[in-house]
Amino acid sequence: MTDSDANKVFNEYHRKLFEISESHINRHTIALMSARNGIIRPLGSGVFFHDQGLYFIFTAAHVVKDYPELLVQGPAGVIYLSVPDAYIYYHPDNKLDVAFILLSNNLGAFLSLQYNPVGKDGFLLNHQPVRVNRYALVGFPGARVRHKGNRLKLACNTYLLQSSPDRVYNYYDRPKSDYYLLNMHGKTLNNHGNPYKAKSPRGMSGCGLWLISYEIIEEQMKLSYLLIGIFTEKINGKYLTLSATNISHVFKGIEECSRRAFQVRFGQANS
């Protein structure tokens, strides 16, 4: 492949990624907000999930733990996530910054009119990171959330990044079995799908980390994506890095939350 051909593939890859981010991945993603004194404040993002009759929103625990009144954009306007239609559970391992918002079936089905919940078949467990531009964060940064009447105007951002080298995992003592670390010195995509220098994804905590794959069939590029993690934090230090929790831990947390949900069935308060 010549350099010219490689550039064409690279540019087409960016364009296709932007298309599926806008048309598909962002429909798995929900902006989480709070309201105090009538003022809506963006908190972060979450991934909408449905399996075996249960609906969840996955997010980072720090996004929701100090905000008992959460709200999201629904098909008909702002919706409050409150008891008995929403309960917050935290990952059994307190070291992991992951939370699960369990939704009632009615609320989950209603949100499905606007969002597309991902299922377990959309997960890739225990992926081993590689040093290529195949990792996408898609979420709603606070700067791109606007409140107008009873509706919110939202715009997603897409970050296309490389996995960090082993020395970064070692430096920050983050085992690859638990975390994905991403290099923030690379490029991301602007609103037109063109690459530009990555900036801080402020307000996107809790959004999904997606592994992007592509194949070329009859000279047409086709992209696919799988959820491999939940973005939790930007690490400032020797290496400017983004950290995401491995989706395998979310998978285990789902099983625990599902067990508790069937026991409680919305009959008790948060725990």
Same domain flag for 150 and 229: yes
Same domain flag for 136 and 231: yes
Same domain flag for 212 and 133: yes
Same domain flag for 135 and 213: yes
Same domain flag for 87 and 142: no
Residue 151 inside a domain? The answer is yes
Same domain flag for 259 and 151: no
Round to whole Å and give the CA distance between 156 and 154: 7
Same domain flag for 93 and 133: no
CATH number at residue 55: 2.40.10.10
pTM for this model (two decimals): 0.87
Residue-number span of the structural domain to which 183 is assigned: 121-247
Same domain flag for 151 and 237: yes
Residue 80 inside a domain? The answer is yes
Tens digits of pLDDT across the chain (271 residues): 565 666 777 778 888 888 898 889 999 999 998 877 777 888 999 999 998 888 999 999 999 988 778 999 888 888 999 878 898 888 878 788 999 999 999 999 999 999 999 999 999 998 999 888 889 999 987 666 666 665 667 777 888 888 999 999 999 999 999 999 998 765 555 555 566 565 667 778 999 999 999 888 877 889 999 999 999 999 988 888 999 999 998 888 887 777 766 555 544 444 4
Same domain flag for 173 and 259: no
